[in-house]
Amino acid sequence: MKKIYILILLFINLIFSECSDLGYDLCIQYPQFCEWNEANSECEDITDGDSNTNYGPYQFSSFNESNGLLASDSYLGSTVFYPTDSQPPYSSIVIVPGAFSSEQTLHQWGQYYASHGFIAMTIGINDYFNDDMSDLAYSLLDAIEVLKQENIREDSPILNKVDIYNFATSGWSIGGGSAQYAATIDSSLKAVIALNPGLAIQDYENCTNPDYEYYCLVPDHLSHSVPVLIISSEGDIENPTDLDAAVHYEYTPESTLKMLFEIEGGSHETGLNPNSGSGELGEKAVEWLKYNLLNDLEYCDNLLNIPISAAQFYTNLDCQDSIIGDINEDNLINVQDIVLIVSLVMNFEYVANADLNNDSQLNVLDIVQVVNIILS
């Protein structure tokens, strides 16, 4: 009885503790309220720490496998968050955590995205010891297929509500690296958001160190055309910006739309919370999705605004007005644009400025529109 009483007292004390009272292990268990400051080695309250502070305008709900959500052998557990009072169909983002982190650690992001009008699906990791980052990339892509199936499942809460052409991947820590690697596998993805990412791929041809079981990162591992937002933290010692996020940015081709936002201070866990950086992390992520998933060009200028909380911020995004039909962006509309769009269609590649009828597909209808523009 005495032991139970002591445990109750400890539990009550924990409930009413402030972030500054918590050590590292407890601090990271409450990412909606606290974050670990590596520089000061202390737990700190998140500015405007109410987890509802930056919710969007929409109400949302969720369901998981216990409620009928289709399961998959590619990941361990999942939850789908979706808007309930917005206009479908909804574009979607699928999110995977880092090593030794549960699917539930991403629920804040799921709720946040749903409140801004997106479907968000969080998935867990099957095997922390044997699933590597390429496995997690395929898990993300498999989850997208599950969402497509949910769109036609009769009893699904998101029946006929999924935009089956517009998907993004995201993840935290090694999940963030995996989200970007998924873009090298599936070029139909419209966006990537990598949170405090780390990435190493087993590659017997390009990785030469047997001590690391031939895992490494080379530019070929990040060669893709999918727009990528990379988030890092100044105080991250697990995946420091200069060793991870900045390298990811550098290795991503210059022809690919990319952005790096390093949040001042913080820690490796900063990317778990959309309210980090006084809410600017979540705001930038939603702007990225609206610009790239929804093709809403009005968000271009917003994306170029440097956050107050940024320690570093750089991008190759250019918001100059484009000419409709100028696929190669040389300020001319001519046969070169026809050749380029035909090549894109034949190779099943997607480039947003070639989708002239905005149907999220590249096909003969877009080619016809370019020809008509030239002839008119």
Closest CA to 86 of 107, 115, 62, 122: 115
pLDDT level of residue 26 (50, 70, 90 thresholds): low
Average of per-residue pLDDT across 361-375: 86
First and final C-alpha spacing in the chain:
87
Burial class (CB in 10 A: 0-12, 13-18, 19+), 9: exposed
* Tens digit of each residue's pLDDT (9 = 90 or more) over 94-108: 999 988 899 999 999
Question: What is the reported pLDDT for 348?
Answer: 79
Average of per-residue pLDDT across 191-219: 93
Q: How far apart are CA 149 and CA 164, in angstroms?
A: 10
Coil vs helix vs strand at 231: strand
Report residue 75 as tokens: 């990941």
Question: 102: how many CB neighbours lie within 10 A of its CB?
Answer: 13
Q: Match 């497509």 to its residue by tokens.
A: 148
Q: Do 171 and 179 meet the contact criterion of CB atoms below 8 Å apart?
A: yes
Q: What percent of the chain has pLDDT over 90?
A: 65
**DSSP-derived secondary structure letter, 151:** T
Report the b/e string of 169-204 with b at 16+ CB within 10 A. Answer: bbbbbbbbbbbbbbbbebebbbbbbbbbbbbbbebe
Average of per-residue pLDDT across 69-80: 94
Q: What percent of the chain has pLDDT over 70?
A: 87
Question: What is the reported pLDDT for 283?
Answer: 97
pLDDT of residue 49 exceeding 50, the answer is no
Average of per-residue pLDDT across 28-45: 61
Dihedral over Cα of 369, 316, 286, 225: its sign: positive
Report residue 76 as tokens: 């361990």
Q: What angle do CA 276, 277, 283 make, to 5 degrees?
A: 80
Report residue 294 as tokens: 């929804």
Burial class (CB in 10 A: 0-12, 13-18, 19+), 69: buried
Question: What is the reported pLDDT for 7?
Answer: 39
Question: 269: how many CB neighbours lie within 10 A of its CB?
Answer: 28
| Alpha carbon of residue 212 to chain centroid | 27
Beta-ladder partners of 96: 171
Which range (80-94, 160-174, 277-291, 344-358) has the least confidence? 344-358
- Spell out the domain ranges in the chain: 2-45, 60-315, 335-375
Q: Match 């055309």 to its residue by tokens.
A: 225
Question: Between helices 364-375 and 335-346, what is the axis angle to 10°?
Answer: 180
pLDDT of residue 13 exceeding 60, the answer is no
| Alpha carbon of residue 259 to chain centroid | 12
Instruction: Transcribe 72-117 into DSSP letters.
Output: -TTSS-EEEEEESSS-S-EEEEEEE--TT--GGGGHHHHHHHHHTT
Question: What is the reported pLDDT for 52?
Answer: 46
Report residue 81 as tokens: 């968050």
pLDDT of residue 358 exceeding 50, the answer is yes
Question: What is the reported pLDDT for 21?
Answer: 78
pLDDT of residue 17 exceeding 70, the answer is no
Question: What is the reported pLDDT for 321?
Answer: 60
Q: Match 């898990």 to its residue by tokens.
A: 139
Q: Do 354 and 325 meet the contact criterion of CB atoms below 8 Å apart?
A: no
Question: What is the reported pLDDT for 35?
Answer: 61
pLDDT of residue 126 exceeding 60, the answer is yes
Question: What is the reported pLDDT for 54?
Answer: 78
- What's the whole-number average pLDDT of the chain? 87
Which range (155-164, 212-221, 242-251, 334-343) has the least confidence? 334-343
Q: Do 119 and 93 meet the contact criterion of CB atoms below 8 Å apart?
A: yes
Report residue 274 as tokens: 């959309």
Question: What is the reported pLDDT for 39?
Answer: 55
> Does a cis peptide bond (omega within 30 degrees of 0) precede residue 219?
no
Average of per-residue pLDDT across 195-203: 93
Q: Do 32 and 24 meet the contact criterion of CB atoms below 8 Å apart?
A: no
Question: What is the reported pLDDT for 275?
Answer: 95
Q: How far apart are CA 60 and CA 118, in angstroms?
A: 10
Question: What is the reported pLDDT for 5?
Answer: 44
Instruction: Transcribe 52-66 into DSSP letters.
Output: TTT--S--EEEEEGG
pLDDT of residue 86 exceeding 90, the answer is yes
Average of per-residue pLDDT across 247-259: 96
Say which CATH superfamily domain 60-315 falls into: Alpha/Beta hydrolase fold, catalytic domain (3.40.50.1820)
Report residue 28 as tokens: 């990271």
